């Protein structure tokens, strides 16, 4: 949110674009916009930029691929742990119908593994987008109109990852993930070793907001009608129900990917969150669909 607010201040037209997206989302919701299933899943090509100083930060191709697999599991509701949804919400576990593939061609049309490796002298990065800037020890995104850019690096300050919403600057578009929270194998570490930091951050990249609405009280929402209003983020593995904002008897939907619980506790998107994501893929993110 800090970066988001900085981007809003730097470019007044960004705020206008975001208003337009909300308008589009609301129109789709009002029209009963359904999950687009006719042509099968929408596909997005991904490039993973591995930025490393120490050898353990240099993720193996297997670890990178495990992240793509985890995204496909979660964005197709193919995760076995969706059965952990409380009975009241099993009907709200939604297939987003989105699939991710590692790029096979780079921006110049050359064959690629979809993984880039960049050696850096930096011990760690922050949320200031320096990992996306060669002058600051990072690496530039590939054309963000065509690729979902993921960066893996060492992040400081306990940060697992961060993302940019649609409509922001192209030079910093994409998602950054801490190397030990990337994928499900290799150096991925408990309790963030199910690839769900990327599931969460790609949700932001597709215009999802946190379920507590980023306010420290009950005033903010996520622009989604089928997630209960919630006060503040949930962490670790909460007990069900956790009631805030008069949202009893079921309480917060803390098992949603857009909360802050452990990887093994977040298991679902809802149909209206899928509408928001599809609205982004029909609007500001349309050019990334292959």
Active-site annotation, residues: 201
User: Rounded to the nearest whole angstrom, what is the least distance from the CB of residue 185 to ligand ARG in the complex?
Assistant: 16
CB closer to Ca ion out of 93 and 224: 224
Distance of closest approach, residue 239 Cβ to ligand ARG, in angstroms: 17
Which of the listed partners (Ca ion, ligand ARG, none) does 221 bind, with a CB threshold of 5 to 8 Å by partner kind? Ca ion
| Binding at 89: pick from Ca ion, ligand ARG, none (beta carbon under 5-8 Å per type) | none
In the complex, least distance from residue 143 CB atom to ligand ARG, rounded to whole angstroms: 25
User: What count of residues does the chain have?
Assistant: 290
Residues 216-275 contacting ligand ARG, CB under 6 A: 260-263, 266
Residue 152 in contact with ligand ARG, rule: CB under 6 A:
no
List the one residue from 196, 209, 210, 276 that touches ligand ARG (CB under 6 A).
196
Which of ligand ARG, Ca ion, none does 42 bind, CB closer than 5 to 8 A by kind? none
Ramachandran angles phi, psi of 30, nearest 5°: -65, -35
Q: With CB under 6 A as the rule, give the number of residues binding ligand ARG.
A: 14
Of the candidates 28, 58, 73, 200, which one interacts with ligand ARG according to CB under 6 A? 200
Comparing CA positions, the residue from 76, 222, 71, 96 lying closest to residue 150 is 71
Among 52, 75, 125, 192, indicate the residue that binds ligand ARG (CB under 6 A). Answer: 192
Q: Report the partner that residue 132 touches, choosing among Ca ion, ligand ARG, none (CB closer than 5 to 8 A by kind).
A: none
Q: Which residues lie near ligand ARG (CB under 6 A)? A: 159-162, 181, 192, 196-197, 200, 260-263, 266
């Amino acid at each position: 949110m800090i970066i988001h607010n900085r981007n809003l201040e730097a470019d007044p037209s960004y705020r206008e674009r975001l208003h337009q997206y909300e308008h589009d989302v609301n129109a789709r919701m009002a029209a009963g916009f359904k999950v687009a299933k006719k042509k099968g899943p929408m596909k997005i090509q991904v490039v993973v930029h591995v930025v490393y100083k120490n050898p353990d930060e240099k993720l193996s191709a297997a670890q990178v691929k495990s992240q793509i697999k985890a995204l496909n599991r979660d964005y197709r509701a193919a995760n076995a742990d969706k059965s952990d949804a409380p009975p009241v919400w099993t009907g709200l576990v939604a297939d987003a119908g989105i699939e991710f593939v590692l790029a096979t061609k780079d921006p110049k049309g050359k064959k690629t593994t979809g993984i880039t490796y960049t050696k850096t002298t930096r011990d760690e990065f922050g949320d200031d987008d320096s990992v996306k800037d060669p002058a600051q020890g990072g690496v530039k995104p590939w054309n963000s109109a065509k690729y979902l850019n993921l960066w893996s690096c060492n992040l400081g300050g306990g940060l697992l990852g961060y993302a940019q919403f649609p409509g922001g600057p192209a030079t910093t578009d994409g998602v950054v993930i801490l190397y030990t929270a990337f994928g499900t194998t290799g150096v991925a570490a408990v309790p963030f070793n199910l690839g769900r930091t990327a599931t969460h951050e790609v949700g932001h990249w597709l215009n999802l907001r946190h379920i507590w609405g980023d306010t420290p009280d009950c005033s903010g929402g996520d622009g989604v009608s089928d997630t209960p209003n919630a006060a503040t983020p949930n962490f670790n593995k909460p007990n069900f129900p956790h009631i805030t904002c008069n949202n009893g008897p079921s309480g917060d939907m803390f098992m949603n990917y857009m909360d802050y619980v452990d990887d093994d506790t977040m298991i679902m998107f809802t149909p209206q969150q899928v509408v928001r994501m599809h609205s982004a893929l029909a609007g500001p993110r349309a050019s990334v669909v292959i």
